[in-house]
Amino acid sequence: MPNGNLETVLKDHQIQLSDRLKLSMARDCALGMNWLHKATPPILHRDLKPPNLLVDKDYTVKVCDFGLSCIRETDVIKDKDKVPGTPLYMSPEVLTKGNINEKCDVYSFGIVLWQIMTRQDPFPEFQDFNEFRSAICRKNVRPPIPSSVAQSVKSMMERSWNKSPSTRPSFEELIPMLEKAIMEVTIEESHSRKFWEDHGWGEEALWKHFSEALSTSLGLGKEAPDMIEWRVLKHMLTVVRDKNKVEPEHVVLQEKFGSVMDRFYPLKESKDYNVMTHLLETINTGWFHGDMERKGAEERLKGRETGTFLVRTSNTIRFNFTISKVDRDGRITHQRIEFHPKKGFSIIVRSKESNQKSVIHSQEDTLPEFVARLKQPLVLLIPCAGSLMEQFSKDTGLASLYLQGTDYY
């Protein structure tokens, strides 16, 4: 496999793993294990751990290494001599040579899920096997779950590694739990998530169906496709499937929808303010260039005057925005605006006079209002050419599109 095994991926901290990707890998593992457990007769893996999970180029996970697997032809199995598997991932009933069934693999999955989310090794405090076995079986010791882990994921861990096998969910039950958790971390804004869930879309939706549903939800009517913000939204949300077709299909990816809606929330706060008005305010500034990586920003700013700048997003960084600009020395620099829907905007600025750092923060501002605050401290003077407004306004009259009375620059 191009990316080796899951242990290698988790230990390589140069590889960025979003919570969505982590949970997607856990779901892949659960799907593979569910296939084994649903076989006739059921197959128990007995050694589920990150080294036995292969990762392909797209970070899809495949269950492998069935050297210790066994076929369950009776309700329970009992180990007679040696206990197969790796101790750190063994359930209490395996460690004590009790009766086992498929739920011993579920326990192992709970530890693997913890390892995926934390990127840490479980139980580093134990060196002695007997002490470890006593801690797991008698004292019910389990890995500490960080507060940053979503409650739904924490619940899955705790249920999976429960001391009682009958309390642990099956992989068939875990799969929809993981799907829901993926949705929660992908689309954090509650109204947007409900909109997506209510329409029963999975990983993606056809733009045709999505646009009809969104237009109806926002009360925009048939004029929506002609609106510049609608065209920008389509550009930001969709990818093209089957490009060789006469009429290729545009699809909205769940991940792109979550990223855009979490940045330009709310989906619908009131009749007069929603994601479209928020997006229109932003593109009307003339400095918003949409999704763009560092290299693209530098190419666009190359040779520009001091103070020329643009604001962009990146698929690799959740929520945040980046200001790319030409500084006083003619260098192109990049500075991140930290953003979270519940916490607002913040950025670290350095005073030219004292060289001291300070934080500019606002929980109430929209993105245009926050960038306007930064005009003086960051010397943001000239919006860079090539913005989304320019790209999508070539065939549209602009006079009616600008928000009257709004002066962000």
DSSP, res 368: H
Compute the C-alpha angle 357/363/368, nearest 5°: 85
Beta bridge partners of 360: 347
Find the length of the chain.
409
Strand partners, 382: 308
Q: Report helix, strand or coil for 253.
A: strand
Identify whether 329 is a catalytic site residue.
Answer: no
Phi-psi region of 289 (alpha: psi -120 to 50; beta: other; left: phi over 0): alpha
Strands 238-241, 249-253: pairing kind: antiparallel
Residue in the structure block whose two tokens are 């932003």:
282
Q: Tokens for 261, please give them.
A: 């809606």
Q: Which residue, 365, 302, 379, 303, is CA-closest to 335?
A: 379
Closest C-alpha to 231, from 397, 388, 400, 387? 388
Structure tokens at 126: 């134990």
Angle at 171 (CA atoms; ends 170, 173), nearest 5 degrees: 65
Contact predicate 192/260, CB 8 Å: no
Please give the distance of CA 335 from its chain centroid, rounded to a whole number. 22
Contacts 24+ apart (CB under 8 A), 31-34: 31/171, 31/175, 32/61, 32/62, 32/63, 33/63, 33/105, 33/109, 33/171, 34/170, 34/171, 34/172, 34/174, 34/175
Q: Tokens in use for 179?
A: 């799907």
Question: Any alpha helices (H) in 148-227, and if so which ranges?
Answer: 151-160, 171-186, 190-198, 207-218
**SS3 state at 126:** coil
Q: How many CA atoms lie within 13 A of 328 on its CB side?
A: 5
Q: Active-site residue among 19, 28, 47, 262?
A: 47
Catalytic center residues: 47
